[in-house]
Amino acid sequence: MDAAAFAKMKQGAILINAARGQVVDGRALYDALRSGQLAAAALDVTEVEPIAMDDPLLSLPNLIVTPHIASGSFATRARMASLAVESL
């Protein structure tokens, strides 16, 4: 998703990226959020991880960044370990 892609989106759209950080151009996203082209965005992943604390994206009130740890629960990790042992 770059500036050209954001320009094609409906004004006020909301972007959610839970795929890969490199899918979204961070500078283009910043510009789209600042200009109002996008109403908001939520990122589960960022271009560079971890995102730098001084990244301009983090200054925006219409952006949510969450840690990419969906598989981080105790139950999921235990199941992953069991599957690994079973595979051996």
pTM score, whole prediction: 0.78
Catalytic residue among 20, 34, 77, 79: 20
Catalytic residue among 34, 68, 79, 86: 68
What average pLDDT score do residues 69-73 get? 74
Question: What values do phi and psi take at 28, rounded to 5?
Answer: -65, -40
77 catalytic? Reply is no
20 catalytic? Reply is yes
Distance, CA of 65 to CA of 46 (rounded, Å): 8
CATH 3.40.390.10 fits 3-87, yes or no: no
79 catalytic? Reply is no
Residue 46: both structure tokens together: 């960022």
Structural domain boundaries in the chain:
3-87
- How is residue 1 annotated by DSSP? -
Tell the burial category of 75 from Cβ atoms under 10 Å away from its Cβ (0-12, 13-18, 19+): exposed
- DSSP helix/strand/coil, 5: helix
pLDDT tens, 4-13?
999 999 999 9
Residue 81: CB partners within 8 Å, gap ≥ 6? none
pLDDT tens, 75-88?
888 998 999 999 99
